[in-house]
Amino acid sequence: MTTAPASPQSPLRHLFPGAHVTRVRAADVVWDHGDLAAEYQAIRGSAARIDLSGAGLVEVTGPGAYDLLQQALARDLEFVTPEQSLISLLLDEDGVAQDVVTVYHVDDGYRLETSVGRGPATVEHLSALRDAAGQDAAITDRAGEVTVILVEGPQAAKALEDGVDPDLGALPLSGIMEIDWNGVELSVSRTGFTGEYGYKIFCPAADAPTVWEGLAELTPAGVGALEVAMFEVRQPLLHRETPTGASALETGYAWLIDITKESFHGRDAVLGAFESGVRSRVVGYVVPGARTEVPQGAEVRIGGEVVGESLHSVFSPGRGEWIGLARLRPELIAPQLDVTVGSDGGGLPARTISAPYVIPASWKVR
């Protein structure tokens, strides 16, 4: 049995009359609430609340749930308990990333939080694997029933400790806590995106407006500011960074793969790439002083020779300059390499850099 409705509209949308909405894959999401710079500053300097309804929530239950996910996930599910979570890739048979998911152990199976806009595609991916293996597992999209509100920033822990539950401040990384807040049953996971303290609050969709308003002291932020902060610490943005046909190794996602795991979908392709080498790899770059966006696909040159392409670029308020991600030949992957990004004769001088491109404030906050 598979249930995969279209991505539902956020139950919080009516609270954001002036927000700018954009489409990311299969989801319409709030890009900003009118002041992206202030929203970014809240994520990096204090704490922001973010409507994460665009992320898919897929439940996998039944006798075959564990075996299905063990085959689907590129990391080992064996030691995931109800108090912990796991972040992993889903790969196709060619080793290309299909989604980055966070896996939670629930009462009768598992819940997967997908990347923004990837819920329906992940349901299809898992369904195909299940059907091919003949496994007894139910796959159900719960995105319309459960809403995720993200609280992110160096003061996120204190804000939730003071305003929601004092025990949340002691929640370990990847930990999960079930609480009752003003009569609403919440599941809170310490799994953020930006290198700052991050907490995801899972609540019934009908109660989401009440929970959102209960966090009114926190600055509302959109996906735009979140993506910038994610990019600054090189968190995966599949819809921005994955060129057609590039493997997970070529895109820099090896840290989300456990190559010692005996079996998972796409493992043969990953092993083959380890043994034979990859055609390209990715590296960050900075355009010092530039205020001009680098277009996706712009050529990257060294001494006039084309050596790669730019995959994505953003203006980083944390650095005060444009940063990007480029795909180059493997032998050229190194920091402090002088390159030119853009068309021949009109390119911008740039320099490759190592991640993270911005040091999160939370790394200095106890």
Q: How far from chain centre, in Å, is Cα 354?
A: 19
Residues 6+ apart with CB under 8 A from 32: 19, 20, 39, 221, 222, 224, 225
* 12-26, 81-95, 289-303: least confidently modelled range: 289-303
pLDDT at 344: 63
- pLDDT, the chain, mean: 93
Q: Which residues of 1-81 form beta strands (DSSP E)?
A: 2-3, 20-24, 27-32, 48-51, 55-61
Residues 6+ apart with CB under 8 A from 81: 105
Would you place residue 304 in the very low, low, confident or very high pLDDT band (cuts 50, 70, 90)? confident
Nearest to 8 by CA among 206, 238, 239: 206
State mean pLDDT over 271-293.
Answer: 88
User: Domain extents for the chain?
Assistant: 2-232, 280-366
Phi, psi of 174 (to 5 degrees): 75, 0
**Structure-block tokens of residue 241:** 């960074």
- What is the distance between the alpha carbons of residues 158 and 171, in angstroms, rounded to a whole number? 12
More confident residue, 263 or 241: 263
pLDDT at 303: 87
How far are the Cα atoms of 32, 40, 116, 168, 282 from residue 35, in angstroms, in the given order? 7, 9, 21, 29, 31
Would you place residue 242 in the very low, low, confident or very high pLDDT band (cuts 50, 70, 90)? confident
State mean pLDDT over 323-340.
Answer: 95
Whole-model pTM above 0.85?
yes
Other beta carbons within 10 angstroms of residue 303's beta carbon come to 8
Other beta carbons within 10 angstroms of residue 105's beta carbon come to 17
Other beta carbons within 10 angstroms of residue 222's beta carbon come to 25
Domain 2-232 sits in CATH at 3.30.1360.120
pLDDT at 198: 98
Query: How buried is 289 (Cβ within 10 angstroms: 0-12 exposed, 13-18 middle, 19+ buried)?
Result: exposed
pLDDT at 4: 45
State mean pLDDT over 332-347.
Answer: 87
Beta pairing class for 321-328 and 305-316: antiparallel
CATH T-level assignment (fold) for domain 280-366: Elongation Factor Tu (Ef-tu); domain 3 (2.40.30)
316: phi > 0 → left, psi -120 to 50 → alpha, else beta; which? Answer: beta
pLDDT > 90: what percent of the chain?
Answer: 86
pLDDT at 201: 98
- What is the distance between the alpha carbons of residues 79 and 85, in angstroms, rounded to a whole number? 10
Contacts 24+ apart (CB under 8 A), 135-138: 135/64, 135/67, 135/68, 136/62, 136/63, 136/64, 137/60, 137/61, 137/62, 137/63, 137/64, 137/65, 137/67, 137/68, 137/109, 138/1, 138/2, 138/59, 138/60, 138/61, 138/62, 138/65, 138/109
Would you place residue 2 in the very low, low, confident or very high pLDDT band (cuts 50, 70, 90)? low
